[in-house]
Copies of this chain bind each other. A is one copy, B any other.
Amino acid sequence: MRILGRFRRGDLHLTRVEAFSDGVFAIVVTLLVLELKVPALKDHGSVAELAHQLAELLPKFLSWLISFIIVCKFWLNHHHILGLARNANFGFVWLNSLFLMGQSFIPFPTALVGEYPDNKLAVSAFGIVFAINTLLFLALYAYIRRHLIKPELAARQDPHAVFKGLIGPASYLLGAAAAWIDVRAAFVIYGLTPLFYITPREWRGAAKGG
């Protein structure tokens, strides 16, 4: 209890937390492209050979695209929930660091699934990583709602929003399970899941209620 109490202390500026987080988000989305390596050609001038090699890169383009969209979606929702907080404390900063650790990990499963799009374990791991990232996001969100929410916004929150948010990890895990039957089904589920969260839930709730 005393240990946990320590994390409730501290009055940090949200601006530096945002700057650090934006830096991590920006680097993660930009590093993703480094996996798109220039193919080695035997005949440097051959259009046919290059076209063939670029077509071989298709799974990497696809995994890059999905990861880019998902990280942007996390950025947008992160932006939203930090707007709910009146300040930052140590618990928040550490949960945020764990969340960013999950984000910075994304290039690895993205590269893995781009390299081995037919490997059931690789495709499954891709979904599990996104499920864990969404859970880390929901933990951060729940912490803000419980300890740091601006008083004027507290009443407008949907009390079930965190619980409803679990549909995200559930959907990614469904995709991860589907990978063992058909990897294409997994890709479809991974591609569709972020659409549920394409605009933050709260704002939709606020707009419906307003």
Interfacial residues, chain A to chain B (CB-CB below 8 A) = 6-7, 9-10, 12-13, 16, 18-20, 22-34, 36, 38, 41, 44-47, 50-51, 54, 65, 68-69, 72, 75-76, 79-80, 83, 90, 93-94, 97, 100-101, 104-105, 107-108, 111-112, 115-116, 118-122, 125, 198-200, 203-204, 207
State A210–B34 Cα separation when bound (angstroms): 46
The reply to whether A47 and B79 form a contact with Cβ atoms under 8 Å apart is no
**Which B residues touch A30, using CB under 8 A?**
23-24, 27-28, 31, 104
Q: Name the B residues within 8 Å of A115 (CB-CB).
A: 38, 44
Cβ of A23: which chain B residues have Cβ within 8 Å of it?
22-23, 25-27, 30
- Cβ-closest chain B residue relative to A68: B101
Q: When the two chains form the complex, which single residue of B6, B13, B22, B104 contacts A16, counting CB atoms closer than 8 Å?
A: B22
Question: Looking at the complex, which one of B13, B19, B33 makes contact with A107 (CB distance below 8 Å)?
Answer: B33
Can you give 21 contacting A-B residue pairs, CB < 8 Å? A7-B199, A9-B203, A10-B80, A12-B83, A19-B19, A20-B75, A23-B25, A26-B26, A31-B33, A31-B34, A33-B104, A34-B107, A38-B112, A41-B119, A44-B116, A44-B118, A50-B116, A51-B121, A68-B97, A72-B100, A72-B101
A85 CB to nearest chain B CB (Å): 13
Contact A45 B79 (CB under 8 A): no
* A16 pairs with B47, CB closer than 8 A: no
Instruction: Give Cα A115 to B37, complex, Å.
Output: 11
Minimum CB–CB distance from A43 to chain B (whole Å) comes to 9
Residues of B within 8 A of A34 (CB): 31, 34, 107
